[in-house]
Structure 1
């Protein structure tokens, strides 16, 4: 949205500059061509003048000078250095006066090879072309030379040739008028120049039009290329690069605002069941709905896949959440894809600047962490709190270290007891993984499980927990403890092909009966309702393995998600258990869950039991099992026997 502003003007200015450059560049060869043509015509005119001067000089020499000198008789083929006779001088004067009078000759000199002026029309005996001049030497050797001087005169050096011997006997220096030739040439050039100029002007106009069309085409092409480089082709939204560019510019300006990351729930299911064309149409519809809910100064971008980013300049966390609620409501409204009614959900993670950071990378990491928390829990919109463990900027480090931890056996298991109500005897344990970090000490699961679940590491981690927990179960079974073992599994584990078979093989290898293993699955995993998850749960139930729905009541599981699944246990979330002894709403919810579990043929287990009052109320309400600090904290399994006695005694006496 903000990126759309001020798009055309820079391209228009660029196009104008490019056109001006192109036009100027086109003008250069046109002008050069015109100058070349003009120069060529001038050279042609000069050459024509020289040719005409040579021809005229040859006529004068043959028809006027030679008869006047009577060179045959006078020189006999020799030079004329001895000078002219009176008769020859008179003849030359008469011939010259007639030529000068008619204007065909401006000046005439007759010179010997030594340069001596033997005759001049003005009577002078000096001056003229120096003997050392190349033209004079050429004329002395029998070669005529003509030179245009300025625009008025053609100078011709013509050899005087004796008719008897055919050899030069002197040099005739003629100055002939060039103006008439120049005028004729100028008229000819003017006509030609107008024709050529018109043609060149037409050529330049064509080149200018081509330049204009080309620059506009290039400008439009550049604009399209820039738009494609900065926008998502499918939705038309700014892409990751455009979002980064604009968001970083806004952050540099200071102020407050929010960065939001969002992705769609069950998008893979749409692609798998309806096809990728339906997935593309879904993305287009979601993009349109999100854009319609945002303001003109808000920036919406598609980062890739089903992930979107939003920048909300000038908005507080509360304002951002209020706006995102509107966005979410629009997204969740029913849509029709290929004739199938569909409701889509989305998770939103929010980070606020400058409170949560001033750099885009940091803000996106925090928003991504909040979004991940939203996908795991009931809230679809989560604002980064700043106090969560395992921040995203540490996840890459944690993931790398966790791989080594699996190889070096740095992980350990603690177990929290589950007691039967109302008696209080230990009937089962839940395996909880801990990391004995070589530098940071013993780490709880919240420090590393989010990073593991955000990557593929959760799969080998869960497999390690299952192997180790079953080995420990063999140990306590050998001491006569018939406890069930509960192990948490991620939706990713259930989506791995062959996971039920893997678990069944572990049970066979350890000799543990399948009903004594319970796999705990979060409610949100069931809400996803993907085919892989349902298929895996059904297959595990067929093997006789128990299935527990963890954190029930915090997600958005409907009864349709539970129907038909082999659910062994429903665990009531601690949020409803903590104040159940005095809060009527919590009491109503817990009673409903207990009745639901019993109606499905499952056990009801309460989490987070910390006071005798809560324990007593749960027992009276018909809850089957309980778990919490009242009965024991997570410890290595050999220590549970001590806590078992305490839990049983405390439960009975209180």
Structure 2
């Protein structure tokens, strides 16, 4: 910009010099010469007129030096009277001026104000004839132009400074705003990377980081707790995922409000939460979790539907149960799943006897091979008529002849099977083997019916009724000689689907038994609408029926209820003749338990002495 300003000033000075020289040549010099022949010199009159015509310009310093020269280079007039000096005749500029062209040059002149002068070589043209007479050599001051250049340069500097200052200010504001936005974005990204979007709680990564810090505090006891909501899938399936999200937010708020400032609550994913409870022993942890569980149990209304929130808590204490976060999480997980399979919602890790879900993967993989290698066996426990003392039916109970661990009871593998798709092929295998064994004992003259346990997943599977009917036809077994035992929990899992399956099965003549009655969630309205053949009283009410009036009242009520619904009643876990006698007097129809026989292969059923018949 400054370079351009300087060049503009030089061009303006040259233009000014050209114009000024043209005026002097046309208005002063040419008239004074009166078409003189400059090669012969000037007359006194011509010199006088020329001196008078140029005095004013010289006096006002508008012209620094003035010479009139012939085409031969001779100086015929100068303002100082000298006849020497000036531009050489061989100078291209002089030759160009002699040819009729104006030549303007900016020359350095340190001794003059402004440090430069403008030299103009202007052809002198006679006014009358229009012919060239000679060359006018002018030296004009550059100070005025330099001053103007300085003024323009100063103004340009100010404009440039103010413009750059404004630009820098704008860029600074943009940079500050952008930096702040980027910082906020980075903070938001960092927060989102470590927090759950739905609840705002720390996520799995943040939980692991905080758990490592808590466990690293030497000598300070604490606990890692896993929290898993019970039957959360039912809320999603019934009310929709938006209701599930709302429930998760409510659970997060309730858990957060019940914790201490030093505690940490995180959402690991789905319906699973985790707690870090530093500086807490087992008693303090249990007390806190009891309060949280009670707070969670408060009813919440989702889409107009009241829902009770229940959760399972698995606790691993540090350093007692481990020093590494992963180890503590595995053990808390094992405790939590142990609680889901039991009756307690808060379980503290109690050793390796608690099966861990990761072990279930191994069990499931091995069991798939067991089905193909025929490692499973069925044992049968008889059901005895309490009036006659005779065996009227047997219950099929599966066992696993493990190649390394020996004969395994159902508790060692059924929990893992029920959480996978293996329950369907396992149930199919049990049904086939039970019906095959039944055909064999029928051939020996024994007319026992057989009971087979089925799960909720079996009832929910489309085509299950047709599959069972097909097996009965395949083995030539009358439908009334097969009884399918279903737990209360299975009936409550999907009431509509389960009820329809029960109705379809009984329509084919297959009996349905409600197992473990009194420990599940079956409502009276469900039983009233279902054609149930048998109700089995759970062993928890039977074992202390002689000494516990509440158990006696429950057993009598169940017997009356079942008979009122047209169902027979079977008591489980009968181990003494006294209990058998009490049950017979109370009106119970059948019983099974160690009093009569442990589960054994069908060929050994009946070899035990039956001692529990009513007298």
- Does TM, normalized by the shorter one, top 0.5? yes
SS at match of 1:461: helix
Q: Which has the higher helix share?
A: 1
Note if 1:56 corresponds to 2:20.
yes
> Secondary structure in 2 aligned to 1:249?
helix
| Ranges in structure 1 where 5+ consecutive residues have no aligned partner | 1-35, 77-83
1:268: which partner in 2? 234
Structure 1 residue 432 displacement after superposition: 0.9
The corresponding residue for 2:576 is 615
Following the alignment from structure 2 to structure 1, what is the Cα–Cα distance between the partners of residues 18 and 297?
Answer: 102
Matched with 2:120 is 158
Change (3 A) 1:593 1:604: farther
Structure 1 counterpart of 2:312 = 347
| 1:253 match: secondary structure | helix
| Alpha-carbon displacement from aligned partner over 1:160-192 (angstroms, at most 9, x marks no partner) | 5364897897794736223x2343455567678
Structure 2 equivalent of residue 244 of structure 1: 204
Map 1:199-218 → 2, pairs under 5 A: none
Structure 2 equivalent of residue 102 of structure 1:
60
CA distance in 2, matches of 1:253, 1:392: 26
Match of 1:144 among 82, 103, 116: 103
- CA distance change for structure 1 residues 174 and 567 in 2, over 3 Å: closer, same or farther? farther
Q: CA deviation at 1:228?
A: 7.0
Q: CA deviation at 1:210?
A: 7.3
Write the distance in 1 (CA, Å) between the matches of 2:399 and 2:465.
21
**Which residue in 1 is equivalent to 2:219?**
none
> Are residues 252 and 342 of structure 1, via their aligned partners in 2, closer, same or farther at CA, if it must alter by over 3 Å?
closer
Q: Using the alignment, how far apart are the partners of 1:512 and 1:114 within structure 2?
A: 146
Aligned counterpart, 2:398: 432
Q: How far, CA to CA, are the matches of 1:435 and 1:65 in structure 2?
A: 136
Deviation of 1:68 after TM superposition, in Å, equals 9.4
2:426 to 457, 461, 482: 461
Cα distance in structure 2, aligned partners of 1:464 and 1:377: 27
- Give the drift of 1:590: 5.4
Change (3 A) 1:246 1:232: closer
Are the equivalent residues in 2 in contact too, given 1:50–1:148 (CA < 8 A)?
A: no
3-state SS of the aligned residue for 2:16?
Answer: helix
User: Is the 8 Å Cα contact of residues 456 and 498 (structure 2) preserved in structure 1?
Assistant: yes
Quote the Cα distance in structure 2 between the aligned partners of 1:66 and 1:410.
Answer: 134
Work out the CA distance in 2 between the residues paired with 1:135 and 1:362. 100
How do residues 287-326 of structure 1 correspond to structure 2 at under 5 angstroms?
A: 287-302=252-267, 307-314=271-278, 315-326=280-291
The match for 1:332 is: 297
C-alpha displacement at 1:199, in angstroms?
8.0
Query: Computing the radius of gyration over CA atoms, which structure comes out larger, 1 or 2?
Result: 2
Q: Deviations over 1:341-392 (max 9, x none)?
A: 4434333334455666667666555545544433333222334445246533
Gaps of 5+ in 2: 216-221, 585-589
Tell me by how many angstroms 1:296 deviates: 3.5
The Cα shift of 1:332 comes to 1.9
When structure 1 is superposed on structure 2, of 466-475 and 365-374 the one drifting more is 365-374
1:648 corresponds to which residue?
Answer: 609
- Which digits, 9 at most, give the CA deviation of each residue in 1:559-597, with x for residues without a partner? 6765555261425347974xx59x945xx5654554344
Aligned to 1:81: none
**Mapping of 1:51-200 within 5 angstroms?**
51-59=15-23, 73-75=37-39, 101-106=59-64, 142=101, 144-147=103-106, 152-161=114-123, 163=125, 172=137, 174=139, 176-178=141-143, 180-184=144-148, 187=151
C-alpha separation in 2, matches of 1:350 and 1:130: 113
| Aligned ranges 1:592-607 → 2 under 5 Å | 592=553, 594-599=555-560, 600-601=562-563, 602-607=568-573
Give the TM-score taking structure 1 as reference length: 0.69
Distance 1:545 1:269 in 2: 33
State the shift of 1:237 in Å: 0.7
| Offset from partner CA, 1:180-231 (integer Å, 9 cap, x none) | 2343455567678878877887788778777777777777777777777766
CA contact (8 A) 1:282 1:337 kept: yes
Alpha-carbon distance between aligned partners in 1 of 2:462 and 2:89, rounded to the nearest angstrom? 110
Distance 1:576 1:50 in 2: 125
CA distance in 1, matches of 2:209, 2:107: 72
Name the CA shift for 1:104/1:552 in 2 (closer, same or farther; >3 Å).
same
Q: What is the count of residue pairs matched by the alignment?
A: 584
Contact 1:416-1:633 within 8 A present in 2 as well: yes
Contact 1:417 1:426 in 2 (8 A): no
Matches of residues 473-492 of structure 1 in structure 2 within 5 Å?
Answer: 473-492=438-457
> 1:534 and 1:316, CA in 2 relative to 1: closer, same or farther beyond 3 A?
farther
What is the CA-CA distance between 1:415 and the residue it aligns to?
A: 1.1
Displacement after TM superposition at 1:416 (Å): 3.9
TM-aligned CA distance change 1:368 to 1:538, over 3 Å:
farther
Normalization by structure 2: what TM-score? Answer: 0.73
Whether the 8 Å CA contact 1:336–1:342 is kept in 2: the answer is yes
Aligned to 1:16: none
* Counterpart contact for 2:265–2:275, Cα < 8 Å: yes
How far apart are the structure 2 equivalents of 1:377 and 1:124?
131
